[in-house]
Structure 1
């Protein structure tokens, strides 16, 4: 319920660069309209439009890379930012810079979905595509850094560095493509949510809600009840925060916890299933635990600013799962299976 609102809002807010008179109320209305339309289409499946997702995302990431590369060419000194020494220098010479990690962390969002998509796409496809995606993302972030250096000491006001990279004549196309990319990213999360609910039902960790299969394509799944809940949740988030910048705290904390959970699960899998040597597992935990723990601490300070929304939603879902699983165990404990032979004759007489 966080990804669709923040993705679509950040894209639509780019219209302010073209139409400065556009108020936030109109932006909120447009965002709610797009999100509502997205959820209303879920019952029909994504078989038809799904074929266009790949080419559109390829065009999107190519655009990111090109826009960033143009500004990197203007100021190649920004390439020094690749050197991790400057991050170390910031943290050691300016200790308060540690809290900037909470904002910097937003650059990594999306990476947590790589593991959830392994079953759908396969590790080979993800590794190959990630090489291209990461390259274009780095170029775009470096380009935004070059733009900021070019305007150092100036008041940039409400200018968004991402849209500032675009020439004026390209803005409308760029905003349109950003909106479509946001919808596709939201669709991936929605589809993943349906899959998780179906798996939770199989594991007796979620109520037996209705599951629909709108098409014959493998993996196409629609959960009407979850679709309604997600729609209401997304609209609630948009109305509560209104601006994408206000959603960052909730988004960052949710992603940090997701990554941390992935690390914990992978640690258990490496040790108990793959039987990896304990020293290697400990080394893995120390390295990734330190990195993700640092990001978590930096994001926790944003709890009052919106992080509580993510934790409240997570607690509600966990409460439903706990109660349902507990009731399942109670039912199984109190259920007795008896032999049918003594009852066959009485049943025949009753029939």
Structure 2
């Protein structure tokens, strides 16, 4: 990412283009399906159209503008946003249960990442039915999805640059198309009055259900906050004025066209989508092509966002370790192969199951509402932490919770019509995060720690014991002990008893994941001069723990400061200034059969170790060079069984 893009202090052309190309992709494609979702099964009625337009205006104004643009963007975690960045800010409070809304919201957002490419690309391609009502769009959607996910492995850096200019053109086109229809009926602008929305809700027999479809206009509002790290708050807020204006012009233009067709149904028109039907007929082919490209842009942003979320939950110890690649130099650009293919098969499965975009809308709305509810919950604690006026907090949070809960219930009314798909995907993700988190807590509770000073002299004596063959010049262990005065008993056992490992210097490395996204610090403690050294890394939750590279930098600094001598201590090699070898030992545990655990903890740990079997090894997760790593497996004996009554016989 360029310096302009990273500038956190001012509005720039580059920053505005990034906001338009990456941050507003999802919300920018919502006009494709919102109006068709509202009128899919009903006769077009002018009063309903006016009520919908009013509801769309006020939903975008309050939900997107007030909640996200004005309030949530203030929850800036060193320039980064998103539900886990927000959780990282508020977890400093005494309320440990705040992990729950973070996990639920993050899972729903990942479910959204499965449904967004499916519904948006499907809706765009369904415009072809204007020319051929029997055209099969499913194979085309699957083909585009396959190509999109296949290209992820090469990095999306080459794709980001044209996104901004193209989405600028897209939004301008939306606005112009809206004005084209508004020329026939400027009176629909009276729907800015909230009266029409309240009237629809109160008088229409299915008003509450319609609001569930109307809520789709906020699709992508959550990504405004999640993708904040790509630009900055000033650029996002400045570009929102343009985006919102163009979106509203298009919605109101579709509304003007719908009012002119009062008494008819969308099914009576070729294509049946007011987004395309409100265009000049000669422009429809170009409109379809532009919509397909715009939905690909929106999908790319959601896919990249999904990789970022998974990377965050891995670093926060809520997900199995996975292989993460950095295919381009763009800041934060990630590629997680396993997640990429899971997302692809998930999207293809959704397309094959629902077949048409109109059938996906209820599943989509549920994911959006659930994510927003969880963000509001965390935002409440953030505002209290920042000492906002308490009456303002109660008023604004209560309003958002009631609004989002209403939309959630409205979408739940169509649970059997596809809403269950969202909850199923979210529940699977919640299950994995919950098991991983609980297992880590159980393991941590039972891990046996010993005082390092009680074994310090033994390590020094072993280091100088010439009767033993030297195992390595530098022996490096990864430790989970937060307290620098302690060390795992298994590590001491590995050094002293499981083939005594003589080394000139013993290194103990500990990684602490901090709440700031890109923090990179380290602290060195010389436990025993020239014999035992501990290094504590403090890494942000978005920093890849490439211990090989980070440790090398630490050693270089220590050598430069003359705090350590890393030349080999073999006389022949020392004389020629040959650097000593570094050997990493990683202790991996497996669940022993010799355990007497409570049933629930045993179930959690069994599932955990099954998942761990399919995850990346600790050595690879820490970015250690396999040629210099020794993996040692230890049985995890958490609770010894009771004494056995055994009698000796002759």
Give the TM-score normalised by structure 1. Answer: 0.95
Shift of 1:155: 4.2
More moved, 89-98 vs 114-123:
89-98
1:56 to 156, 162, 166: 166
Check whether the contact 1:212–1:223 (CA below 8 A) recurs between aligned residues: yes
Q: Give the match for residue 430 of structure 2.
A: 318
The reply to whether residue 45 of structure 1 matches residue 155 of structure 2 is: yes
SS in 2 for 1:112: helix
Aligned length: 347
Shift of 1:104: 1.1
Q: Deviations over 1:291-334 (max 9, x none)?
A: 21221121110111111100111010010001111111222222
SS in 1 for 2:363: helix
2:443 to 318, 321, 331: 331
Q: Give the match for residue 329 of structure 2.
A: 216
Q: Deviations over 1:192-211 (max 9, x none)?
A: 11111111111101111111
Q: Deviations over 1:104-163 (max 9, x none)?
A: 111221212111122222211111111111111111110111111111123442521000
Whole-angstrom distance in 1 between the partners of 2:159 and 2:221? 24
1:139 to 231, 249, 266: 249
Q: Give the match for residue 27 of structure 1.
A: 137
1:111 to 221, 228, 233: 221
Whole-angstrom distance in 1 between the partners of 2:203 and 2:284? 39
Residues 29 and 80 of structure 1, relative CA distance in 2, 3 Å threshold: same
The reply to whether residue 85 of structure 1 matches residue 195 of structure 2 is: yes
Shift of 1:97: 1.4
Map 1:178-327 onto structure 2 (within 5 A). 178-272=291-385, 274-327=386-439
CA RMSD of aligned residues (A): 1.5
Check whether the contact 1:18–1:172 (CA below 8 A) recurs between aligned residues: no
Q: Give the match for residue 640 of structure 2.
A: none
Whole-angstrom distance in 1 between the partners of 2:440 and 2:203? 55
More moved, 33-42 vs 169-178:
169-178
2:184 to 74, 82, 98: 74
Whole-angstrom distance in 1 between the partners of 2:230 and 2:281? 39
Whole-angstrom distance in 1 between the partners of 2:223 and 2:359? 22
The structure with the greater share of residues assigned to helix is: 1
SS in 1 for 2:438: helix
Q: Deviations over 1:214-273 (max 9, x none)?
A: 01221111111110110111111011101000000100110011111111111111112x
Q: Give the match for residue 127 of structure 1.
A: 237
More moved, 192-201 vs 146-155:
146-155
The reply to whether residue 167 of structure 1 matches residue 277 of structure 2 is: no
More moved, 338-347 vs 98-107:
338-347
Q: Give the match for residue 646 of structure 2.
A: none
Whole-angstrom distance in 2 between the partners of 1:287 and 1:20? 43
Structure with greater Cα Rg? 2
Shift of 1:346: 4.5
Shift of 1:343: 3.8
SS in 1 for 2:324: coil
Whole-angstrom distance in 2 between the partners of 1:299 and 1:159? 22
Structure 2 portions without partners, runs of 5+:
1-113, 469-499, 503-650
Check whether the contact 1:271–1:278 (CA below 8 A) recurs between aligned residues: yes
Whole-angstrom distance in 2 between the partners of 1:182 and 1:229? 20
Whole-angstrom distance in 2 between the partners of 1:219 and 1:18? 42
Q: Give the match for residue 341 of structure 1.
A: 456
Give the TM-score normalised by structure 2. Answer: 0.52
The structure with the greater share of residues assigned to strand is: 2
Check whether the contact 1:18–1:171 (CA below 8 A) recurs between aligned residues: no
Structure 1 portions without partners, runs of 5+:
none
